[in-house]
Chain A
Amino acid sequence: MNTQELKKIEETSLSSLRGANSLEELDKLRIQILGKQGTFTLLLKSLGSLAPEDRKEFGKFANESKVKIEDVLASKKSELQLAEQSSRLESEWIDVTLPIDAGPASAMPGSIHPLTQVQRELEGIFHGLGFTVVDGPEVEKERYNFDALNIPSTHPARDMQDTFWTKDGNVLRTHTSAMQVRALERMKPPLRIVAPGRVFRCERVDSTHEHTFYQMEGMMVDREISISNLLYFMRTLLREILGFDPKIRLRPGYFPFVEPGFELDIWFKERWLELLPCGLVHPRVFELTGHDPKEWQGFAFGLGLSRLVMSRYEIDDVRHLQGCDLRFLKQFP
């Protein structure tokens, strides 16, 4: 055995591998060359019989050769696999334009996400009370999410919410309150709106925290609006949602875009449950959106839709809502 012979074996091996036309053929060649009784394997085995000084040099040469063969084998294999895959996909061609019905449809109805169901129900209630449903962007300018809501950049209230920022300096809206500003800019008072939608807070997700959740903002603007009126609408709303007339209380709460600001609690299961932040629209918000606060007044409130869904269906893990698991979702036909 000498290096020339080795070179020859290498060349024939490589050319036969390169010429393989199918994965089966390639595998056969692999066994012929590198199998237990393969040409190359036998050659390596014969190294033992060489003189030690020859063995070293020849061995190095043989190993390089083996690596080359293995490389070609691998690349040929993936090439053939790809070809096989694409010919299999090609054999699966169907006429996508054929207008036929598939076999029997599913016997069971599907399901609608509990958030959609509750949101739709609330929209229905407000629609009936003369509120227009409005929608707005989720990627929001700072102005709408903060500044025009009387939360300037230096305001400590900015720390009340963990905000997602985009690389181009906008925010993912942290509350649907941004829609108060958009509505006041876009519509002419008097107005009554609700704005349901997705909001974001930069928080790690666990069973009680989500970075993505749903709120519904409501606002009514007219010539004369009082806390009495706010209470009237809040009670009407809660009676419709809950199906009974709840005991409610207002207490002071701080939100920069309302004055006075409240938290509305309901008496539920023997304790007060914080449910609805609300208040009278802050005169500054009117000013910042080009309205005269002497002429217009209003109230605003925010409903936590995700929280409402969770308490209504006694869901104990908020992750289910965005989890896309049909074992959960199918429970809401």
Chain B
Amino acid sequence: MGHRAAIVGAGHTRFGALDAGPRALLRSAVDEAFASVDRAVDRASVREAYLATLGFGGWQIGNSAAVLAEEAALPGIPVTRVENACASGGSAIRAAVRAVEGGAPGLVLVAGLEKMTDLPSARRRYWLGVSGDTEWERSAGLTFAGVYGLIASRYLADHPNGRDALVEVAVKNHGNGALNPKAHFQKRIERSDVERAPRVADPLGLYDCCPVSDGAAALLISAADHAREYTDRPVFIDGMGAGSDRLAVQERPELTQFGASRWAADEAFRSAGVDRADISFLEVHDCFTIAELLALEDLGFAPPGGGAEMTLAGETRRDGRLPVNPDGGLKAKGHPMGATGISQAYEVFLQLRGAAGARQLAHPHRALTHNVGGAGATATVTIYSVG
């Protein structure tokens, strides 16, 4: 089907509880993205910018994309904030690809940001919860941990080996995060750490949940035909899909399947013209450990319940048949909501160019990223290859 666009530069701040504010984080990620472009690039070649953020830092909600233009030193360019909760990043990449798809010259900047640790705990938990259904789920006392806790309870009732698999996801992703110098958590954990952790939303405990993180990531995207003006090693975007589902989980027929992810994956594979077997590794949206098992199944790599089996068989480890979240995933790398989808593409950019350092996979040639908004109300899937 051919290439639809190319990533020619990528930048990424450290994820974690950081002193830096939203402006400094944006500037740092964007500067690193420009510096990563192999040939000299004039910032004036950037035609447009998209900012993926849910709440910026919980305060500059409106017009925050104008701040991106300021910090990227791109005065006057058209900017748009893209918001699909935790899938904002993937959705912004989709918008950027469409902006260059006709073969237009120049670059489009996509940046993602969240600054979450400035806020007092109560206000932060407000921001963490605004993307779920308010009238039924929030009113019943659920945050996203609770919604995923309900989903996990059903998964474990249907698939008894799921409990062990959840533990394995946490241990694996922390192990990967330990090799990622930009990850929020860079420490290995043991199964007993996961099992003994306090319960946040039974059956999910503290180690089943991603952390609250600050961070930003940025990509420079060109039309596929123009990519080699910037680099000899572009990472191509070959397929994209997106989907949505009913906001409240109670209105969906299936509790342990995300229709939005399934439809997005089908569209992505169809548009890329490749099969599941062609994919070297996955970056999936593991905001909670259960979400990684659902992702393997929704993306078509395992039948219902098969996500647990694949995980327990070690197939998703870095040295397994299909590595999943080699950067540590949301679980260990951190989850600054708007930045997450961009961060997944950043990892693909490094891995496909052989620049992932200690966590480099052996010769990956094609990758898939999967970004979910909330508990599956929105999702994007993107498929990449290296030239």
Answer yes or no: do A and B interact: no
